[in-house]
Amino acid sequence: MDFPIRNKHKMGKVREEVVVHICAGDPNSTVATTSGIYHSTVWRVKKRYEETGQHSDCSCEGCPHSAHTKTTIMVMRNKIKRNPQQSMNKMAKEHLVSQSTMPRIVNKDLAMRSRAVTKCQIDSHRCKQGRQTGVL
């Protein structure tokens, strides 16, 4: 076995050959050595043939749709204007966007800088005066 087959047209012919061998009842190792392909490829073709009844390539939908679109950016801009205190993780969950996409939208596209709001105790005016004078 020299190199794996990279050409789609040749691979289609090899798949046909693999299916013929599989229908004849040959074991995977024999099919792999006679066809000159890897055992995992034979197993994958066999599995696809058993599931779909075809040996052709699966019809993929193509690239997954990006969540980083103009409409998403516009929605996020309006949402941040309405409630700037809401966290990016919550916005990502609400709009079914990954948590790595949200900072990209906020920082790069909207040119905003986010920072976590630190929680602290609210001091009364009397406590502040006591700290300044040293007497509580």
Residue 80 within a domain: yes
Residue 38 within a domain: yes
Residue 128 within a domain: no
Which CB contacts under 8 angstroms, 24+ apart, belong to 20-26?
A: 22/46, 22/49
Residue 135 within a domain: no
In tens, the pLDDT along 29-66 reads 888 888 888 888 888 888 888 888 776 665 555 666 67
The count of domains in the chain is: 2
Residue 12 within a domain: yes
Gyration radius of the chain over CA positions? 30
Which range marks the domain in which residue 29 is found?
8-52
Residue 125 within a domain: no
| Whether residue 45 is found in the same domain as residue 76 | no
Residue 78 within a domain: yes
Cβ neighbors of 37 (< 8 A, separation 6 or more) are 1, 4, 5, 14, 18
Query: Global pTM?
Result: 0.41
In tens, the pLDDT along 88-123 reads 899 899 988 888 888 888 888 898 887 766 777 777
- 136: pLDDT strictly greater than 60: no
